[in-house]
Amino acid sequence: MISLTHLQRLEAEGIHVIREVVAETERPVMLYSVGKDSAVMLHLARKAFFPGPPPFPLLHVDTTWKFQDMYRLRDRVAAESGMRLLVHHNPDAMARGINPFDHGALHTDLWKTEGLRQALDLHGFDAAFGGARRDEEKSRAKERVFSFRSGNHRWDPKTQRPELWRLYNARKGPGESIRVFPISNWTELDVWQYIQAEAIPIVPLYFAAQRPTVERDGLLLMVDDDRFRLRPGEVPVTRSIRFRTLGDYPLTGAVESTAATLPAVIQEMLLTTTSERQGRAIDHEAGASMEKKKQEGYF
């Protein structure tokens, strides 16, 4: 008898979900954010369709404010996978010069939420894979693997379909689309262990190194390029830091760390006392804010 480990079973489930979507939808796309969860999801897709490439493109809804390391890995990984990479920039946000320094919440709203809607509508995608996990946040615990969105990309928690056994109902009306989460049942530890077991490439920023930083509003920010606006009196200080999540560099808090290898990162994660999303400025609002954002179409 061959006994399957929890990672093998999670992998099998993720591959099954990805194949179901390809079998039952017209134009699927994989949202690729360059983070570790995206890396795992993409790896599952490549395994699902081997020896061919996954039969759908990657979509990066970009804000132009990601870390430079992220852009480098994105382009390399897309080339290796043999998949088409689509990069979308919200032209409106671009024209108005929306940026994280001047525009606060509007920055996320326009570049990410609105940008995602634009990109999906522009290409007519009817199913989009996302790397969200149920353990990230309370409202996610109830999200389905197949999550239906109305014609204007809104999420209604009351009309989600029951999901029994491995049976997913992917039928939808005109204009409706689906968000699909193949790694719903993975935890942060599962993701790390799988990255280690499968030697999946991830952005070097997850590992500790000496980097230029400033401390601002309780977050430790990295000065990733010369667009970073230093406030009066701020002087970048080199610290040994790494990131637990990756987003727009002016909005993503680092942690001081010396964990430079995967086992060390996992060790730190297991012994740490704050949860993963705390590094993201977006989640510091009231308890149910993620749910509100999802109803409006945030991924």
Partner 1 sequence: MPSPSYEADALIAGDIDAYLERHATKSLLRFITCGSVDDGKSTLIGRLLYDSRTIHDDQLAALEADSRRIGTQGGAIDFALLVDGLAAEREQGITIDVAYRFFSTETRKFIVADTPGHEQYTRNMVTGASTADLAVILVDARKGILTQTRRHSYLVHLLGIRHLVLAVNKMDLVGYDRARYDAIVADYRAFAAQVGITGFVPMPISGLAGDTITSRSANMPWYEGPTLISHLETVPLDIAADQARPFRMAVQLARRPNLDFRGYSGLIAAGTVRPGDPVRILPSGRTTRIARIVSFSGNQDAAVAGQSVTLTLEDEVDCSRGDVIAAADSPPEVADQFEATLVWMADEPMLPGRSYLLKLATQTVSVQIQAPKYQVNVNTLEHLAARTLELNAIGVANLSTDRPLVFEPYAESRELGGFILIDKIGNATVGAGLLHFALRRAANVHWQAIEISRAAHAAQKNQRPRVLWFTGLSGAGKSTIANLVERRLHAMGRHTFLLDGDNVRHGLNKDLGFTDADRVENIRRVGEVARLMTDAGLIVLTAFISPFRAERQLVRDMLPAGEFVEIHVDTALAEAERRDVKGLYAKARRGALSNFTGIDSPYEPPGQPEIRIDTATMTAEQAAEHIVDRLFALRDEAAFSI
Binding site for partner 1 (CB under 8 A): 1-13, 15-16, 19-20, 22-23, 46-53, 134-135, 138-139, 141-142, 157, 159-167, 169, 171-173, 184-185, 187, 189-190, 193, 196-197, 263-264, 266-267, 270-275, 278, 287-288, 291-292
Coil vs helix vs strand at 265: helix
Q: Smallest gap, in angstroms, from Cβ of residue 57 to partner 1?
A: 16
Residue 221 CA, chain-centre distance (Å), reads: 19
| Cβ proximity to partner 1, 237 vs 270, nearer residue | 270
Environment class of 88 (CB within 10 Å of its CB; exposed 0-12, middle 13-18, buried 19+): middle
Per-residue exposure over 220-253, b if at least 16 CB sit within 10 Å of its own CB, e if not? bbbbbeeebeeeeeeeeeebebbbbbbbbbbbbb
Coil vs helix vs strand at 83: coil
What DSSP string runs through 208-257?
A: -EEEEEEEETTEEEE--STT--PPTT---EEEEEE-SS-SBGGGB--EE-
| Cβ proximity to partner 1, 22 vs 87, nearer residue | 22
Q: Smallest gap, in angstroms, from Cβ of residue 38 to partner 1?
A: 18
| Cβ proximity to partner 1, 51 vs 232, nearer residue | 51
| Cβ proximity to partner 1, 2 vs 235, nearer residue | 2
The structure tokens listed for 138 are: 């309370």
Alpha helices by DSSP H, the chain: 6-24, 36-49, 68-81, 91-96, 105-108, 115-123, 188-198, 262-271, 289-296
Strands 177-180 and 209-216: unpaired
Q: Smallest gap, in angstroms, from Cβ of residue 139 to partner 1?
A: 5
| Cβ proximity to partner 1, 6 vs 72, nearer residue | 6
Q: Smallest gap, in angstroms, from Cβ of residue 9 to partner 1?
A: 5
Distance CA 238, CA 228 (A): 15
Q: Smallest gap, in angstroms, from Cβ of residue 173 to partner 1?
A: 6
Q: Smallest gap, in angstroms, from Cβ of residue 166 to partner 1?
A: 7
Sign of CA dihedral 63, 69, 70, 74: positive
| Cβ proximity to partner 1, 21 vs 93, nearer residue | 21
The structure tokens listed for 63 are: 């804000």
Q: Smallest gap, in angstroms, from Cβ of residue 233 to partner 1?
A: 29
Q: Smallest gap, in angstroms, from Cβ of residue 96 to partner 1?
A: 32
| Cβ proximity to partner 1, 91 vs 263, nearer residue | 263
| Cβ proximity to partner 1, 11 vs 224, nearer residue | 11
